[in-house]
Copies of this chain bind each other. A is one copy, B any other.
């Protein structure tokens, strides 16, 4: 997640340079054909292009709005994970009688769960986004790829870790183990039936939160909506220079009489500008479609996991708390 108010032009260029270069060359070629080769018939009227442009802008608007919702839903779910982590710890401290070890285990297993969930969500899948090389390199450098159970040895009993490593979905089984642990605590009369009921409501909530993350992760933004947004945008921007030939016509007449270099540049500049605005609008949404990939605009799960861990250990009155995650180049992961 980018956490400065303004995005530096360096980052914008890193994403945009390839397209910009293409637009300049593309518009340059078309205008050259028109002007130098005198292909006067290749212009197309701008009026229908306006209609396409407006229709495409709507379509992008719809898509951006839905993509934003996906990001924001992802962020809300992780907000819910923060909240229920605190509630879980609070309940453990308030309900479990005279058994510090059990309290610590229940809370540590919870910390294992949030980390397992995070790592599971960070795995790439068949519809992951690919940017140009410059961008990908940046994420590779910043990125984090761990096996799901990494670090569990500090949190859980070795036998439990060994069992978890065999499982298809580790996070699911961590919650199940909480349930079995509670069963045992009830048998030992360290919690009451009332407490069990409250605890299991929390576990239900955690399965809901986990499942909601997995839903967003495993369901791409419906490809027919997303892909045609890109296709329509590109059709529009590829037609723009032809249309500009038409509306610049009166100026182009002047072109015949001398100061051509200026109009040439003005038209190319204008063409590139429109193209850049539309493709950027379109990209802005694409970048928050999949909010759990560990990219520039994604939910900062590493930082959130660390925050939860600090909070929970502080609630256990531990002494040496870990440090907060720091942003790298203004990006929080």
Which of B198, B280, B311, B314 is close to A200, meaning CB atoms less than 8 Å apart? B198
Which of B66, B76, B224, B284 is close to A284, meaning CB atoms less than 8 Å apart? B224
A56: chain B residues at CB < 8 Å are: 277
CB distance from A81 to the nearest CB of B (A): 9
CA distance A211 to B311 in the complex (A): 12
Query: Is A176 in contact with B54, judged by CB distance below 8 angstroms?
Result: no
Q: Tell me whether A36 is interfacial, beta carbon within 8 Å.
A: no
A4-12, A102-110, A135-143: which one contacts chain B? A4-12
Mark A51-71 against chain B: 1 for CB-CB distance below 8 A, else 0: 111111111011011101001
CB distance from A315 to the nearest CB of B (A): 6
Q: Tell me whether A123 is interfacial, beta carbon within 8 Å.
A: no
A87: chain B residues at CB < 8 Å are: 203-204, 207-208
CB distance from A38 to the nearest CB of B (A): 12
Mark A226-243 against chain B: 1 for CB-CB distance below 8 A, else 0: 011000100100001001
Instruction: List the B residue with the shortest CB-CB distance to A51.
Output: B53
Q: A86-B175, A91-B179 are in contact. Are A55 and B55 (CB under 8 A)?
A: no
A167: chain B residues at CB < 8 Å are: 314
Which of B89, B222, B327 is close to A288, meaning CB atoms less than 8 Å apart? B222
Query: Is A2 in contact with B66, judged by CB distance below 8 angstroms?
Result: no
Query: Is A222 in contact with B5, judged by CB distance below 8 angstroms?
Result: no
CA distance A310 to B263 in the complex (A): 66
Query: Is B224 in contact with A127, judged by CB distance below 8 angstroms?
Result: no
Looking at chain A's contact residues, the main secondary structure is helix
CA distance A94 to B196 in the complex (A): 10
A24: chain B residues at CB < 8 Å are: none
Which residues of A from 164 to 198 have beta carbons under 8 Å from B? 167-169, 172-173, 175-176, 179-180, 182-183, 192-194, 196-198
A130: chain B residues at CB < 8 Å are: 5
Q: Tell me whether A244 is interfacial, beta carbon within 8 Å.
A: yes
Q: Tell me whether A149 is interfacial, beta carbon within 8 Å.
A: no
Q: Tell me whether A3 is interfacial, beta carbon within 8 Å.
A: yes
Query: Is B68 in contact with A68, judged by CB distance below 8 angstroms?
Result: no
Q: Tell me whether A25 is interfacial, beta carbon within 8 Å.
A: no
Q: Tell me whether A93 is interfacial, beta carbon within 8 Å.
A: yes
Q: Tell me whether A90 is interfacial, beta carbon within 8 Å.
A: yes
Mark A290-316 against chain B: 1 for CB-CB distance below 8 A, else 0: 000000110000000000001100110
Which residues of A from 252 to 267 have beta carbons under 8 Å from B? 254, 259, 262-263, 266
A26-34, A41-49, A113-121: which one contacts chain B? A41-49
CB distance from A205 to the nearest CB of B (A): 9
Beyond known contacts A83-B208, A167-B314: 7 more, CB 8 A cutoff = A7-B227, A45-B251, A56-B277, A62-B65, A198-B200, A235-B273, A235-B277
